[in-house]
Amino acid sequence: MSRNAESTAFRSALEVIRAVEPRVADAIGAELTDQRESLKLIASENYASPATLLAMGNWFSDKYAEGTVGRRFYAGCQNVDTVEALAAEHARELFGAAHAYVQPHSGIDANLVAFWAVLADRVESPALKKAQVRQVNDLSEADWFALRRELGNQRMLGMSLDAGGHLTHGFRPNISGKMFDQRSYGTDPTTGLIDYDRVAEAAREFKPLILVGGYSAYPRKVNFRILREIADSVGATFMVDMAHFAGLVAGKVFTGDFDPVPHAHIVTTTTHKSLRGPRGGMVLCQPELADQVDRGCPMVLGGPLPHVMAAKAVALAEARRPDFADYAQRIVDNAQALAEGLLSRGATLVTGGTDNHLVLIDVSGYGLTGRQAEQALLDSGIVTNRNSVPQDPNGAWYTSGIRIGTPALTTRGLGTAEMDQTAELIHTVLTQTTAGANADGTPSKAKYTLDAGLADKVARQATDLLATYPLYPGVDLS
């Protein structure tokens, strides 16, 4: 791809936008500058390719396409059919999935589609009812349904928020918390790791309809084979939300017991995190759930976004190339180098390290809350987000943790040596930041002091670190 073509494409697009609303064109240009200049360590963000970005900015946005490929409620969807079918085919091939539904607009939407598919299936499909009952082979069909009635039939067991679970796994601020009676499994207080015996015990006691695996802030591999066995032992549907680590599954860093696709009945994901695609969601499932999943729109989704499905097809095609596996491995190598760099400088990490794309620093060791640390790092040109740590005394707003991830910096080309330098910058900022006090002298969870000169110096060092690895090197807007 010629660099000229990318520059011409984006420059021309901005020229056309500028003629209508110059402030939008300016904001788009400014966003590129900001992203180029900041050390982005947000574990859930990435940089999509120019081809993926360009696939979204076109007239596919103008189409309504409710329904599925070849079965639309609107005429004239032949080209939408092409891109939706391509995206689904790439997804099936990439992940080895029996079925892929690429319409969800986001990860939350993908989870809603999955929940409703499971609920509807349990209610509607006699075949699956029988299959489910066979899995709990010590129950007769009559026993099984009596039990379900007794249970109220809508229970979800997922990872607790402070151990790294996601809001959509049955927590109050999300509708899943209203749809399901939720119970969560945490992590071992000593190791910080999932204790599968405890999960099995919770499943036996609680008898969930859905056992959810997956996380937003757990820095370790998860054994999905064991979780499936636990789900089967209580007749639960096993769902995995791989939003964060889909890129590591796609790149075959997570295989065997650690690949959720062969083990789960249903898998949901976002497409924009480690998978490096457009903002969006996707559901993969076993054949018996396919019909229900395909009813996502209009069950819980508005009309599909054909321009985003086109971009998903492009990004998934990219992820099927051999170099994506190399990228995925470098994400993990970088996260481990970052963890090592922090540990060697005295930081405390949840679980003592990482084997995926993210690292969770317990900043209480620096005498800070997550909120203070997040802001001090931001002042210094380092973009992260605060996050709870297990049994967090500061709650979900102030927190005691900082979550950092390597998918974005790895896309730029930074390697393990730069991760060590990044660890040095983070450690410098955190050691030089002091927690502040409220007007009445009590300790503040938000106020802090950091010498402005030091913050500027670190920001300059961060920019220097990035200078060798330009973001979107083919795009020159000047």
Residues tagged active-site? 64, 66, 241, 270, 273, 279
Q: Does 357 bind ligand PLP (CB under 6 A)?
A: no
Q: Does 403 bind ligand PLP (CB under 6 A)?
A: no
For residues 210-227, one letter each, b for 16 or more C-beta atoms within 10 angstroms of the residue's C-beta and e for the rest, the string is bbbbbbbbbbbbbbbebb
The two tokens of residue 240 are 């995995």
**What's the number of CA atoms in the CB half-sphere (13 Å) around residue 335?**
31
Sign of CA dihedral 337, 339, 343, 346: positive
3-state secondary structure of 302: coil
Q: How far is the CB of 269 from ligand PLP (least distance, A)?
A: 8
Q: How far apart are CA 350 and CA 389, in angstroms?
A: 7
Q: Looking at 182, 270, 356, 400, which residue binds ligand PLP (CB under 6 A)?
A: 270
Residue 386: strand pairing partners: 402
Which 99-138 positions form the footprint of ligand PLP (CB under 6 A)?
Answer: 106-108
- With respect to ligand PLP, which residue has the nearer C-beta, 239 or 361? 239
The two tokens of residue 19 are 């003629």
Q: Does 44 bind ligand PLP (CB under 6 A)?
A: yes
Q: How far is the CB of 107 from ligand PLP (least distance, A)?
A: 2
3-state secondary structure of 181: strand
- With respect to ligand PLP, which residue has the nearer C-beta, 271 or 411? 271
The letter for the amino acid at 197 is: D
Query: Which residue reads 């759930």 in tokens?
Result: 289
- With respect to ligand PLP, which residue has the nearer C-beta, 159 or 450? 159
Q: How far is the CB of 114 from ligand PLP (least distance, A)?
A: 11
Which residue number places its CB atom closest to ligand PLP?
A: 107
Kindly give the residue spans of alpha helices, DSSP state H, lying in 19-163.
22-37, 50-56, 78-95, 107-124, 126-135, 141-151
Q: How far apart are CA 32 and CA 191, in angstroms?
A: 40
Q: How far is the CB of 314 from ligand PLP (least distance, A)?
A: 18
Q: Does 341 bind ligand PLP (CB under 6 A)?
A: no
Q: Looking at 122, 166, 265, 357, which residue binds ligand PLP (CB under 6 A)?
A: 166
Q: Does 176 bind ligand PLP (CB under 6 A)?
A: no
- With respect to ligand PLP, which residue has the nearer C-beta, 113 or 209? 113
DSSP-derived letter for residue 36 is: H
Q: How far is the CB of 452 from ligand PLP (least distance, A)?
A: 32
- With respect to ligand PLP, which residue has the nearer C-beta, 55 or 217? 217
Q: How far is the CB of 44 from ligand PLP (least distance, A)?
A: 5
Q: How far apart are CA 243 and CA 241, in angstroms?
A: 6
Question: Of 460, 444, 342, whose CA–CA distance to 403 is shortest?
Answer: 342
**What's the number of CA atoms in the CB half-sphere (13 Å) around residue 427?**
18
3-state secondary structure of 260: coil
Q: Does 385 bind ligand PLP (CB under 6 A)?
A: no
Query: ω into residue 298 within 30 of 0, thus cis?
Result: yes
**What's the number of CA atoms in the CB half-sphere (13 Å) around residue 356?**
33
Q: Does 182 bind ligand PLP (CB under 6 A)?
A: no
- With respect to ligand PLP, which residue has the nearer C-beta, 128 or 163? 163
Q: How far apart are CA 224 and CA 235, in angstroms?
A: 16
Q: How far is the CB of 10 from ligand PLP (least distance, A)?
A: 24
- With respect to ligand PLP, which residue has the nearer C-beta, 214 or 401? 214
Which 201-260 positions form the footprint of ligand PLP (CB under 6 A)?
Answer: 214, 216, 241, 243-244
Q: How far apart are CA 350 and CA 336, in angstroms?
A: 13
Q: Does 174 bind ligand PLP (CB under 6 A)?
A: no
* Per-residue contact string for residues 67-106; x = within reach of ligand PLP by CB under 6 A: ---------------------------------------x
Q: Does 360 bind ligand PLP (CB under 6 A)?
A: no
Q: Does 6 bind ligand PLP (CB under 6 A)?
A: no
* Per-residue contact string for residues 280-299; x = within reach of ligand PLP by CB under 6 A: -x------------------
Q: Residue 146 CA to chain centroid, in angstroms?
A: 37
Which H or E run contains 191?
A: none
- With respect to ligand PLP, which residue has the nearer C-beta, 243 or 359? 243
Rg, Å, the chain Cα set: 23
| Contacts to ligand PLP by CB under 6 A | 44, 106-108, 166, 168, 214, 216, 241, 243-244, 270, 281
